Amino acid sequence: MGKNNTLINLSNISFSYPSKMNLLNDLSFTLRLGDRVGIIGPNGCGKTTLFYVIMGLIQPYEGHVEICGKIRVEEADFREVREKIGFLFQNSDDQLFCPSVREEVSFGPLNFGIDREEVKKAVKETLRDVDLEGFEVRPPYDLSGGEKRKLALATILVLKPKILLLDEPTIGLDEETVEKIIEILNEPDLSYIIISQNREFLKRTTDILYTINNGEMKEMNI
Ligand SMILES: Nc1ncnc2c1ncn2[C@@H]1O[C@H](COP(=O)(O)OP(=O)(O)OP(=O)(O)O)[C@@H](O)[C@H]1O
Ligand SMILES: [Mg+2]
């Protein structure tokens, strides 16, 4: 962890796509331990791009990405970041690649060297949490949009990360599942950033709300 319990510190980040100049423009932002942050804003304002910068999926042209007290530059730095931060892609198809639901949810914990019996138990519990019991042998590509979303969430939650970046977690989810997700997010000890267009959901899960305006983070009223 960094100074003052800083988990993520972005300083003076700038990034453009060829078609979108100054998408992120001298953007600075800090996530501290226990912070629960929402980001809302127009389509195309750079929300997903911001997450990609934090996860090292794109490199900013300028500025520093500091995570858990270390400036992250190389791919190896970000591999460590991806172990610390549970990242939900906006599009579930970007997240799912295994032949069955069970393998999909087991993949992360097995990869981290967790004992097989323990993984089995965690997978069972997590599938119950997202209401996907009975789906274990189904191929992920056969699932409905909402079921894929639940599965993508399960692949993250099974690892019990303390830091979460969730890009539109409620898209396509039924009310009952949204309530379960709210319950999980309201557990203590979590720090997160949630991108969502769902204000009600953000009201119930976050304490501070931002938008991205002209490439910078601007605080908004919740
Ligand atoms: N790989 C890319 N190449 C070129 N332009 C891109 C690329 N990815 C995104 N863009 C453009 O950059 C802008 C920001 O994209 P981004 O995905 O960060 O927006 P967003 O705020 O997450 O939007 P949404 O609410 O629709 O998810 C958009 O105008 C998009 O068209
Ligand atoms: Mg997006």
Q: How confident is the model at residue 27 (pLDDT cuts 50, 70, 90)?
A: very high
**Is 127 in contact with 151 (CB distance < 8 Å)?**
no
- For residues 35 and 53, is the Cβ–Cβ distance under 8 A? no
Question: DSSP character for 208?
Answer: E
CA distance 88 to 127: 16
Run of H or E residues at 172: none
pLDDT higher than threshold 70 for residue 43: yes
**Closest atom of ligand 1 relative to the 42 alpha carbon:** 25
Beta strands per DSSP E along 18-151: 20-32, 36-39, 62-67, 70-71, 85-88
Residue 174 token pair: 């039924």
User: Is the CB–ligand 1 distance for residue 21 below 6 Å?
Assistant: no
Residue 96 near residue 38, CB atoms below 8 Å: no
Please work out whether the CB of residue 17 comes within 6 Å of at least one atom of ligand 1: yes
Cα dist. 110→35, 62, 130 in Å? Answer: 29, 36, 20
Closest CA to 215 of 2, 6, 49, 37: 49
- Which residues sit with Cβ closer than 5 angstroms to ligand 2, an ion? 47-48, 90
- The span from the CA of 95 to the CA of 23, in Å, is 25
Give CA–CA dist 146/168, Å, rounded: 12
Q: Which residue ranges form the domains of the chain, and what is each CATH number?
A: 3-220 (3.40.50.300)
Per DSSP, 135 falls in state -
Residue 69 CB coordination number (10 Å) = 12
Query: Atom 27 (ligand 1): residue with closest C-alpha?
Result: 43
Residue 146 pLDDT exceeds 70: yes
Residue whose CA is at the smallest distance from ligand 1 atom 26: 43
Mean pLDDT in the chain?
95
Q: Which atom of ligand 1 is nearest to the CA of 197?
A: 25
The per-residue pLDDT for range 92-117, each reduced to its tens digit, is 999 999 999 999 999 999 999 999 99
With cut-offs at 50, 70 and 90, classify the pLDDT of residue 1. Answer: low
Say which residue, 222 or 151, is predicted with more confidence: 151
The strand pair at 6-17 and 62-67 is best described as: antiparallel
Ligand 1 pocket residue status of 94, Cβ below 6 Å: no
CA of 63 to the centre of ligand 2 (A): 21
Ligand 1 atom showing the smallest separation from residue 45 Cα: 21
Distance CA 73, CA 59 (A): 8
Instruction: Give the mean pLDDT of 64-73.
Output: 97
C-beta atoms surrounding 168 within 10 Å: 20
